[in-house]
Amino acid sequence: MGLLEGKNALVFGLANDKSIAWGIIQAFLREGANIGISYAGEIMEKRVKPLAEKINCQWVEECDVTKDDQIEAVVKKAEKHFGKIDILVHSIAYAGRDELSKPYSQTSREGFRVAMDISVFSFVALTNAFLPIMNDGGSILCLTYGSGAVKVAPHYNVMGVAKAALESSTRYLAYDLGPRKIRVNAISAGAIRTLAAAGVGGFRDMYKHFADKSPMRENVTIDDVGDAAVFLASDLSKRITGEILYVDSGFNIMGVQMVEKEGE
Ligand code: NAD
């Protein structure tokens, strides 16, 4: 029997088959969960619908998380189809390309607002909106990049600041929902080549740096993140809440980045 057998899981943030959300969906399916998928808008629809068909997913709904009415509507649709849900995954982030290439000191007011709204507030808003239809003992997850939130990752800029706020929100939400035994955790993924990552200035170097400098000397995959998400979504982690789980080949533990290659 799978670890998530019979659980209803909604995943927000699927863009294509490179998305971290896709890795999570695959792993959840393997463990027996019923999946619902939500995507951002028309442009995404063309990519997401064929993927949903491939896995015979019956619930695929649009939700632009900057719109309160769309959040409200998606909750109603989920209630109609699933009744109650057990797992909610937020795999969403956005910042303007400009903000991820200029120095952080030049972040615009609007760029800051948009990054915070889409990448942080939406996690709070979705959590609050889904609470009435969430079973006690459920699990809520988001995706962060801790090495850019608690430390400086060049070019990550306002997204690093947003991730710091997202991680803090994870802890505050965990406190709020603890009495209902609903757990709230974040996965801090290593650098993975996705659509969102392509917007970060110098990502290619960051990606290579990861493989060169992490203790395990390799990049992580969306499947690695999916497996960690299964753990945090399942009863195996039933006393874990408010945590940031790093899935990054150990990259974040390094101080001075001077790992030698084997044989050197
Ligand atoms: P991705 O581009 O596949 O996913 C980002 C998703 O956010 C997309 O599906 C996009 O449609 C969605 N989104 C943006 N604006 C939205 C809006 N207004 N409403 C609804 N959805 C919206 O990229 P990804 O790398 O899979 O990103 C998923 C999460 O993982 C993000 O939180 C990202 O910061 C995080 N993360 C990524 C990496 C990496 O290296 N790729 C590392 C650590 C954390």
Catalytic residue among 39, 94, 156, 207: 156
Structural domain range at position 116 = 8-250
Predicted local confidence at residue 31, as pLDDT: 98
| Cα–Cα distance measured from residue 164 to residue 183, given in angstroms and rounded to the nearest whole number | 19
- Please indicate whether residue 25, judged by its CB atom, sits closer than 6 Å to ligand 1: no
The predicted model scores a pTM of: 0.97
Question: 195-217: per-residue pLDDT in tens?
Answer: 999 988 889 988 998 999 999 99
Domain tally, the chain = 1
Catalytic residue among 145, 172, 207, 246: 145
Q: Is residue 80 part of a domain?
A: yes
Q: Is residue 83 part of a domain?
A: yes
For residue 171, the CA-to-ligand 1 centroid distance in Å is 21
Given phi > 0 = left and psi -120 to 50 = alpha, else beta, which region is 56?
A: left
Query: Alpha helices, DSSP H only, in 178-248?
Result: 195-198, 203-213, 222-233
Q: Is residue 256 part of a domain?
A: no
Q: Is residue 159 part of a domain?
A: yes
CATH number of the domain residue 45 falls in: 3.40.50.720
Q: Is residue 77 part of a domain?
A: yes
Cite the beta strand spans of 56-209 per DSSP E: 59-62, 85-90, 134-144, 183-189
Closest CA to 84 of 226, 180, 185: 180
**Known catalytic residue at 246:** no
Closest CA to 38 of 20, 18, 21: 21
| Cα–Cα distance measured from residue 75 to residue 129, given in angstroms and rounded to the nearest whole number | 7
Q: Is residue 255 part of a domain?
A: no
Q: Is residue 257 part of a domain?
A: no
Question: 77-122: per-residue pLDDT in tens?
Answer: 999 999 999 999 999 999 999 999 999 999 999 999 999 999 999 9
- Please indicate whether residue 118, judged by its CB atom, sits closer than 6 Å to ligand 1: yes
Q: Is residue 2 part of a domain?
A: no
Write out the chain's pLDDT in tens, 264 residues: 999 999 999 999 999 999 999 999 999 999 999 999 999 988 889 999 999 999 999 999 999 999 999 999 999 999 999 999 999 999 999 999 999 999 999 999 999 999 999 999 999 999 999 999 999 999 999 999 999 999 999 999 999 999 999 999 999 999 999 999 999 999 999 999 999 999 888 899 889 989 999 999 999 999 999 999 999 999 999 999 999 999 999 999 998 665 455 555
For residue 196, the CA-to-ligand 1 centroid distance in Å is 5
Q: What is the DSSP letter of 78?
A: H
| Cα–Cα distance measured from residue 34 to residue 27, given in angstroms and rounded to the nearest whole number | 12
Predicted local confidence at residue 201, as pLDDT: 84
